[in-house]
């Protein structure tokens, strides 16, 4: 089987990055609505996925697509496919510059 074909059939999830503090790792939260079987009311449910971001391209607030993959670590079973919508990045560089100045 062709590897590209196999990768395209793997499950994918779209969600929001809620943590990017780890090296090469992001935490993605998928929000969904589920119908209650008895009361027929929609309830909010969410699932957190730990995903591999080898380029450290994501920050908190980005909307991303991740795909299921081989185990990368104890909890990482997903990898970043692409960033669908990027969060504003105006203060990200300023915070890094301020922390470098404080260390010197």
* Domains of the chain and any CATH numbers: 3-103 (2.40.50.140)
Rg of the chain's alpha carbons, rounded to an integer? 17
Q: Is the predicted pLDDT of residue 89 greater than 70, yes or no?
A: yes
Alpha carbon separation from 4 to 45, 51, 68 (Å, rounded): 32, 20, 14
Categorize the per-residue pLDDT at 90 as very low, low, confident or very high, splitting at 50, 70 and 90.
Answer: confident
Q: Is the predicted pLDDT of residue 76 greater than 90, yes or no?
A: yes
CA angle 61/64/70 to nearest 5° reads 125
Average pLDDT, the chain: 88
Alpha carbon separation from 26 to 13, 55, 63, 80, 87 (Å, rounded): 14, 11, 12, 9, 14
Mean pLDDT of 78-99: 78
Q: What confidence tens digit (pLDDT) does each residue in 30-71 have?
A: 999 999 999 999 999 999 999 999 999 999 999 999 999 999
């Amino acid at each position: 089987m062709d590897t590209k074909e196999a990768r395209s059939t793997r499950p994918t999830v779209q969600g929001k990055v809620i943590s990017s503090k780890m090296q090469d790792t992001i935490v993605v939260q998928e929000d969904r609505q589920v119908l209650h079987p008895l009361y027929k009311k929609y309830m909010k449910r969410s699932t957190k996925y730990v995903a591999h971001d080898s380029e450290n391209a994501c920050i908190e607030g980005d909307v991303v697509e991740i795909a299921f993959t081989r185990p990368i670590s104890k909890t990482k079973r997903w990898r970043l496919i692409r960033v669908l919508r990027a969060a504003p990045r105006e203060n990200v560089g300023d915070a890094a510059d301020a922390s470098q100045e404080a260390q010197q």
